[in-house]
Amino acid sequence: MSSYLLTCTPAHGHVLSLLQVARHLVDAGHEVGFLTSARYADRVLASGARFLPLPPEADVDLDDADGAFPERAGLTGPAALRFDMSTLFVRPGAAQLAAVRAELASRRIDAVLTEPLFVGGALLQLLPAAERPPVIALGIFPLGARSVDTAPFGLGVTPMRGPLGRLRNAALRLVAERAIFGGVQREADDMARQTVGRDLGGFVLDWAGRTDAYVQFTVPEFEYPRGDLPDTVHFAGPLPTTASDAPLPDWWDDLDGDRPVVHVTQGTIANSDFTQLVLPAVHGLAPSDLLVVVTTGGRPRNSLPADLPENVRVAEYLPYDRLLPKIDVLVTNGGYGGVQQALAHGVPIVVAGQTEDKVEVSARVGWSGAGVNLRTNTPASAQIAAAVHRVLAQPSFRVAAERIGTSMRSADAWSTLDGVLDRVTRSWPARETVAEG
């Protein structure tokens, strides 16, 4: 039996993903600690892991960031990512590291598993190997490993082949690291020097690529090719879809009719304003012969107007393991997990997301050929309708989605993760030293 520490920023989607990892490790007989917000204590304990609370100065409510930080509202693209990186992720880093160090001092930990926005993990991996266990990044959103073959993470810029592409990437990297995110980088380096005595060792958005291992929960077909990808990066395939026994709505049998089915969702967090995507999609697809299935992400049915078009069906939640085999197109704001689950079922996508990591998810959907990237957070009804009809009419989108899905279905995320954990912890030079400490 091994002992692992999972660390996670207090964001709903991130916590749910890492809880899947926690349950897997607990079921395998390992001891698991889970460091995150007290808001998720019950969920952590239900997974079988020990709950460890973040200190108050690191317990930022990322699920209501606009409420906590009104100045964040309306920001998109690099401006939104710059604000989030500084305020929501970098500034809590020192307190995150202190909490991790306290846990390491209290018991033997064989490895720290962290998602890439937990900046305390970036600080931990700067320490000498003799003073820490291995740090393993869990890629639950698009891969952020630095490469000469890709533009900097956060810009949503797709690859360009050849020497010209590399020159473009180098120029964009210079602009991103010194101008767009220069202030964030200086803040992160200052914090690193104050906490561990050295700067961050590279661009703040790339730090997970410098960890001892990086388990990316997707397949290479949904990632940009990188000729210089570190051998520490391992593609595991998507996290498995959790089977659900949730009750089905009374209209469920409508999905088995003759009409193509389009599923529209804004996920479970960015769904406070359905005028961004759901309602434009509903109105744009109203004149069609499509069946439009909307989920509100847990918000009550009356969050939407009562007089929706005849072809619309609504539920707060639906079991994706049962829904996705029945749909023809997913319309989404670009949540990584939902996009991956759709692709695993060979479902093509229309995506409209330009905030947080969604700008990178959306870019990959368009680049891979598995769907249409609308390149906006607030598409017009006509844009959505045109994109949906294009995806339905052109077989290439489903062919690309199915190609990615075939690779995903042949992957084994848990086997890959287990193998990486075993290899890294067995070869870690400081393993016994950490235990004695």
Kindly report the average pLDDT of the chain as a whole number. Answer: 93
The fraction of the chain above a pLDDT of 90, given in percent, is 82
**pLDDT for the residue numbered 80:** 75
Q: Which H, E and C letters describe 357-368, residue by residue?
A: CHHHHHHHHHHH
- Between CA 92 and CA 242 the distance in angstroms is 31
Question: At residue 332, what are phi and psi to the nearest 5 degrees?
Answer: -145, 160
**pLDDT for the residue numbered 82:** 84
State yes or no: pLDDT of 139 exceeds 60: yes
Strand ranges in 178-236 using DSSP code E only, listed in sequence order: 213-216, 233-235
pLDDT digits 0-9 by tens, 174-223? 999 998 889 999 999 999 999 999 999 999 989 999 999 999 999 999 99
Cα torsion 116, 120, 126, 131: sign = negative
**pLDDT for the residue numbered 297:** 87
Cβ–Cβ under 8 Å, residues 390 and 340: no
pLDDT digits 0-9 by tens, 216-226? 999 999 999 99
Please enumerate in sequence order all residues whose Cβ is within 8 A of that of 102, keeping only pairs 6 or more positions apart, or say none: none
Q: What predicted TM-score, i.e. pTM, was given to this entire model?
A: 0.93
Lowest mean pLDDT among 56-65, 159-168, 248-257: 56-65
**pLDDT for the residue numbered 261:** 98
Burial of 427 (0-12, 13-18, 19+ CB in 10 A): exposed
State yes or no: pLDDT of 437 exceeds 80: no
**pLDDT for the residue numbered 356:** 74
**pLDDT for the residue numbered 85:** 86
State yes or no: pLDDT of 271 exceeds 80: no
pLDDT digits 0-9 by tens, 367-407? 999 999 999 999 999 999 999 999 999 999 999 999 999 99
State yes or no: pLDDT of 436 exceeds 70: no
Instruction: State the pLDDT confidence band at 77, using cuts at 50, 70 and 90.
Output: low
Cβ–Cβ under 8 Å, residues 53 and 15: no
